[in-house]
Each structure stands twice: as structure tokens, then as C-alpha cells.
Amino acid sequence: MTPEQRIIRYDAELGIEAYYFEGVMQRFPNHFHEHYVVGAIVSGARRLTCCSREYIIRPGDLVLFNPLDSHACEQVGDCPLELRFLNIPPKVMERAAEEITGYAYQPRFAHNTVPDSELCGIIAELHRMIMDGDQSLGREELFCLLMEQLFDLYALPPEKPVRTQEDDGMQRVCEYLQEHYAEHIGLEELGRIANCSKYHLVRSFTKEKGISPYSYLMTIRIGEAKKLLETGQTPAQAALLAGFSDQSHFTRCFKRLTGLTPRQYHNIFYQGENRHAT
């Protein structure tokens, strides 16, 4: 079996993260990211559920996640997963949109997967350059080319969504969870915020967001914990500040959603260098 590798490198100039996973069989539960994910499958097959749609992703497939797209995946067959992903913050994507289209906005990509995409070759080369610490002009050119192709081929035009009263209630719940993630929160409380019963809240929230209120809260907490670990907080400190009272629960949740332990993630940033996440 292929030895497992999980490597992350942060490119400060581009403002993005490059992830490399090899030999991974782990199942990832339903969750979301606050950033864009642009990636390519190198080997292995996965059953991906994203925004209530199911796909089988294979080598050569492009994967695109918008911020807050709920998704989960699990192994198909015996060949372990190998992937190259780029995590792109919304502000970086917004700047790219302004330079490419003349309008500063955070796009939504129409497709979460694209079979046999030619962009996988660009992603592979850009990913390799970031992993190698390449600071050349060619790296920046590749990033600009990738952004232009993504916008040209897959980005939906900006539009003002039509919202209902129930949509507004669910949005208030999201905003409350984002602001009070470190506190104890109950369903009755969230129901009052959404102006509905807790039973209706769970059904409507899960239908609209593709993820339950509890899973949404856990994802926010893990996202905040990552930010704390990046600034040098210890895993114990990050767990407490992010709202986890149980260290073991924090570690389990963190690994389920990121594929790394809090200590592995902490070491990548706090020690001032990018390294194997072992």
C-alpha cells in the first residue's frame, strides 16, 4: 500500500495554500470551508456528495468548492486517494475577479466537478511550484492563467438572489453561529432567532445549507481553531478559544474535517516553515 503523506505549503505572496494528500483512505464527513477549493484528483476514486448531489470523482477530474458548499466524500475501491488542492481565500478570489472582469465580487462556480479537465495540468504545475518554494514569475503567471480559465469556463455571472422570509431566518441563524461559536448554543435559542420551532429549524436549515446546524457550528469552530493555530496558539488554547471544552473531541473533529491533527497543523505555521504533516 502507498505510504500515507499529507503535506501543506502556504504561499504568502499568492495568499493561498497548497495541499497534497497521498495514500489516504479516510472518509471525510459532511462539512464546508470558508474558502474556495480548486483541486485535481491524481489517483483513486471517491464518492463525493456536494450540495445534495452525488458524484464519482476519478483521476483527471477537476474539483471546485465554493465557500460554504457542504460536501462529504468516501473511498471507492481499493486504490488510495492522491490529490492536489489549492485553498483560495475569498478576498484573493475577489481581487482576481476585479482584475479579470473589472468588477469586485466573489464568484460562484457552476460545477463542483468537471471530468477530464485540461485545467488539471495547470493545477499540477502550479501546485508543484508552490510545493518546491518556487518564487519565480512563472508561478504568478500560472496562477493568473488558472484564475482566468476558471472565470471564463465556470464562474456564474454576479446576480442578486431572490430571498424568502425563511431564507432570512436561516441566514440570521448562520450569522448568530458565526458570532457566538465559542458559546453554548441550544436549538430553542436558534429557533427563536429564526422565528420557528426547533424541529422546523433543523429541517429547513439542513435543506437550505446541506448541513445540520450542529455540523455548521462544528465547521465554524474548526475554522476558527485553524486561524488560532496559525498564529501560534497551542492546540489546547485553540480548542478552548474555539468553544471546545473537551480536548479529545476537538482533536477528533479537527482530524475528521482537515485530515490532520491540531498539532500537525500548528507545527506547519508556528515553526515558521512548511513541512510534511506527519
Separation CA 226–CA 223 (nearest Å): 5
Average pLDDT over residues 197-222: 91
What tens digit of pLDDT does each residue of 47-69 get? 999 988 999 999 999 999 999 99
Asked which of 8-17, 148-157, 203-212, 265-274 is least confident by mean pLDDT, the reply is 265-274
pLDDT of residue 54: 95
Taking the CB of residue 1, how many other CB atoms lie within 10 A of it? 8
Same domain, 121 and 37: yes
Q: CA–CA distance from 263 to each of 237, 256, 257, 260 (Å)?
A: 12, 14, 14, 8
Structural domain range at position 217: 211-278
Same domain, 47 and 92: yes
pLDDT of residue 277: 47
For the chain, the average pLDDT equals 90
pLDDT of residue 278: 40
Average pLDDT over residues 258-265: 89
Residue 93, pLDDT above cutoff 50: yes
Average pLDDT over residues 201-227: 91
Average pLDDT over residues 181-205: 92
Residue 213, pLDDT above cutoff 70: yes
Same domain, 57 and 126: yes
Nearest to 84 by CA among 119, 134, 112, 48: 119
Residue 251, pLDDT above cutoff 80: yes
Same domain, 73 and 120: yes
Same domain, 144 and 55: yes
Separation CA 248–CA 65 (nearest Å): 29
CB contact burial 95-123 (16+ within 10 A = b; e otherwise):
ebbeebbeeeeebbbeebbbeebebbebb
Same domain, 262 and 191: no
Average pLDDT over residues 237-256: 93
Indicate the number of domains in the chain.
Answer: 3
Same domain, 192 and 97: no
Same domain, 10 and 137: yes
Same domain, 101 and 167: no
Helix 90-101 × helix 137-154 angle, to 10°: 80
pLDDT of residue 161: 60
Same domain, 278 and 176: no
Same domain, 176 and 232: no
Q: Tell me the percentage of the chain whose pLDDT exceeds 90.
A: 73
